[in-house]
A = this chain, B = another copy of it.
Amino acid sequence: MSWTLTEDHLEDLARGAAVLGTGGGGDPYVGRLLVREAIREYGPVTVLDPDDLDDDALVIPTAQMGAPTVVHEKLPNGAEPELALRALEKHLGAKADATMPIECGGINSMIPLVVGARLGLPVVDADGMGRAFPELQMETFGVYGVPGSPMGIAGERGETAVIDTGADNRRMEWLARGVTIRLGGVAHIAEYSMSGADVKRTAVPRTLSLALSVGRAIRLAREENADPIAALATALGDTLYSHLRVLFRGKVSDVERRTEEGFARGRAAAVSFDGEHKLEILFQNENLVALVDGEVRCLVPDLICVLEAESAEPITTETLRYGQRVTVAGISTPPLMRTPEALATFGPAAFGLAHDFVPVEVAS
Segment among A174-182, A215-223, A228-236, A346-354 that sits at the interface with chain B:
A174-182
Whether A171 is near chain B, meaning CB under 8 Å from some CB there, is yes
Residue of B with least CB distance to A162: B162
Cβ distance A310 to chain B, nearest Cβ, rounded Å: 44
Residue of B with least CB distance to A154: B164
Whether A165 is near chain B, meaning CB under 8 Å from some CB there, is yes
Whether A358 is near chain B, meaning CB under 8 Å from some CB there, is no
Q: Give chain B residues whose Cβ lies under 8 Å from the Cβ of A293.
A: none
Question: Residue A163 contacts which of B161, B165, B174 (CB distance < 8 angstroms)?
Answer: B161
Q: Give chain B residues whose Cβ lies under 8 Å from the Cβ of A178.
A: 178-179, 181-182
The distance in angstroms between the C-alpha atoms of A339 and B133, with both chains bound, is 52
Whether A158 is near chain B, meaning CB under 8 Å from some CB there, is yes
The distance in angstroms between the C-alpha atoms of A159 and B178, with both chains bound, is 14
Question: Residue A161 contacts which of B157, B158, B162, B177 (CB distance < 8 angstroms)?
Answer: B162
With most chain B CB atoms within 10 A of its CB, the pick from A161, A163, A165, A182 is: A161
Whether A183 is near chain B, meaning CB under 8 Å from some CB there, is yes
Whether A160 is near chain B, meaning CB under 8 Å from some CB there, is yes
Contact between A183 and B175, CB atoms less than 8 A apart = yes
B-contacting residues, A149-207, CB 8 Å:
157-166, 168, 171, 174-175, 177-179, 181-183
Q: Give chain B residues whose Cβ lies under 8 Å from the Cβ of A182.
A: 174-175, 177-178
Cβ distance A149 to chain B, nearest Cβ, rounded Å: 9
The distance in angstroms between the C-alpha atoms of A168 and B161, with both chains bound, is 14
Q: Give chain B residues whose Cβ lies under 8 Å from the Cβ of A158.
A: 165-166
Question: Residue A159 contacts which of B157, B159, B163 (CB distance < 8 angstroms)?
Answer: B163
Contact between A164 and B175, CB atoms less than 8 A apart = no
Question: Residue A160 contacts which of B87, B163, B181 (CB distance < 8 angstroms)?
Answer: B163
Residue of B with least CB distance to A175: B182
Residue of B with least CB distance to A171: B159
Chain B proximity mask over A76-107: 1 for CB below 8 Å, otherwise 0:
00000000000100110000000000000000
25 pairs, A vs B, C-beta closer than 8 Å: A87-B164, A90-B91, A157-B168, A158-B165, A158-B166, A159-B163, A159-B164, A159-B166, A159-B168, A159-B171, A160-B164, A161-B161, A161-B162, A161-B164, A161-B175, A161-B179, A162-B162, A174-B182, A175-B179, A175-B182, A175-B183, A177-B182, A178-B179, A178-B182, A179-B179
Binding site for B on A (CB under 8 A): 87, 90-91, 157-166, 168, 171, 174-175, 177-179, 181-183
Across the A-B interface, the 10 shortest Cβ-Cβ residue pairs: A178-B182, A178-B178, A161-B163, A162-B162, A159-B165, A160-B164, A175-B182, A161-B161, A174-B182, A178-B179
